[in-house]
Structure 1
């Protein structure tokens, strides 16, 4: 039976994203923890949650000295995943997952960013998860290596590692399948200057791509979530 989901939020408030909505519709109790606001994370050894989701945010996974809560998240992720408990990392969450297991996080060597829609393609081992090429939404300025012992599941042209798995319980997605058009419209309002950065997609092109590709991305996420929680739900 569905149980309790831990949602680690990097922002000051939660948004009605697709992952949280999916979990709520399928009977999970949602326990939001606002890490950047100083809310403590549970002890991985004793937490009664059935799964954890680590969300994205504007922080760098390398800012652990200036933002010590990021190190707390890395420590939590390591403790949680060492116990083979299900975890999904989204964008920054994927970078924190990778960093927890020795993957390097950093900017593109040519100063490029991924903001807007871009193509990804499955690796040979990733085809069960991502059957074919997809055009997906991004908003990030750094990427993460596939950590030692992990399996890369999808690749992109700018940041090579777009999805990876550790064991059969932890997944990192560099892109944003959880983000609705309503949510990223707010991002554009709040940080539209980033659309002028190298590699960013123009605003009009983002919304044109959204009309064509957002429904497919939503359907893909639904299938992913069924597989992610299905054997445990």
Structure 2
């Protein structure tokens, strides 16, 4: 009997040198292939996800409010995994794009505060029913998303209250970054140093020190979370 190979996961990145990091590594270890596309560089997105096991949309320096054609097209494209009920994971910008697709706003805090560094995460009742969440997560953003109508808030934060949500059965969004390898974090600290003076941002050395303290739990959470999103284990039904 011929065993059908696992359908690849569509991976959407937003810069030439971006990688799927630890998310990509874990998905490959779990038996998935990756179909990596960069719409900002002209790559086309599929008209259906029938040939894929789901999709992951990663972050980037652009805003979900930007008026570039590829940003608008990508937000519009998110109707496909929603309509086809395919597994979807949005990370940071990918989460904000999903919120926009669902009618939610994306905006900065009125006081200009950002989350750049390690910050506390608080699982909601819905989130605790789904799985165990880390108490500290790594952030690198200056905008947050409004919880879309009909979405279930899974985790909240102190500065930006909406940190993770599920919409429908298979669409998930997280504001924070669990995908960073150590090398990726070191690059972000070097290239993002100009942002460390923004309100509530943390100094670069605290990013790397925090990794030593908190990354083990974040990595364990990510592996379990990917199993849930991409149906390696059944997701629990969240009762509102």
TM-score (norm 1): 0.94
Deviation, 1:140, is 0.3
Select 1:24's aligned residue among 13, 28, 52: 28
Q: Report the number of matched residues.
A: 229
User: Which residue is 1:59 aligned to?
Assistant: 62
Tell me how far apart the structure 2 counterparts of residues 126 and 5 of structure 1 sit (CA, whole Å).
24
Asked whether the 8 Å contact 1:104–1:145 carries over to 2, the reply is yes
Asked whether the 8 Å contact 1:122–1:130 carries over to 2, the reply is no
Change (3 A) 1:80 1:132: closer
State the secondary structure of the residue aligned to 2:121.
strand
1:8 aligns with 2:6: no
User: Which residue is 1:174 aligned to?
Assistant: 175
Report 1:1-233 matches (<5 A): 2-15=6-19, 17-44=21-48, 47-63=50-66, 65=67, 67-131=68-132, 134-229=135-230, 230-231=232-233
Asked whether the 8 Å contact 1:54–1:88 carries over to 2, the reply is yes
State the secondary structure of the residue aligned to 1:7.
strand
Change (3 A) 1:166 1:129: same
State the secondary structure of the residue aligned to 1:189.
helix
Q: What do you get for the CA RMSD once the two structures are aligned?
A: 1.5
Tell me how far apart the structure 2 counterparts of residues 132 and 86 of structure 1 sit (CA, whole Å).
20
Tell me how far apart the structure 2 counterparts of residues 52 and 111 of structure 1 sit (CA, whole Å).
32
Higher strand proportion, which one? Answer: 1
Deviation string, structure 1 residues 169-192 (Cα, Å, up to 9, x no partner): 000000001112221210111121
Deviation, 1:112, is 0.3
Asked whether the 8 Å contact 2:7–2:53 carries over to 1, the reply is yes
Asked whether the 8 Å contact 2:99–2:105 carries over to 1, the reply is yes
Instruction: Spell out structure 1 runs of 4+ moving beyond 2 A.
Output: 13-16, 128-133
Asked whether the 8 Å contact 2:54–2:81 carries over to 1, the reply is no
Deviation, 1:130, is 4.6
State the secondary structure of the residue aligned to 1:187.
helix
Larger deviation: 110-119 or 79-88? Answer: 79-88
State the secondary structure of the residue aligned to 1:161.
coil
Tell me how far apart the structure 2 counterparts of residues 37 and 71 of structure 1 sit (CA, whole Å).
14
Tell me how far apart the structure 2 counterparts of residues 192 and 14 of structure 1 sit (CA, whole Å).
18
Runs of 5+ consecutive residues of structure 1 not aligned to the other structure: none
Asked whether the 8 Å contact 2:134–2:217 carries over to 1, the reply is no
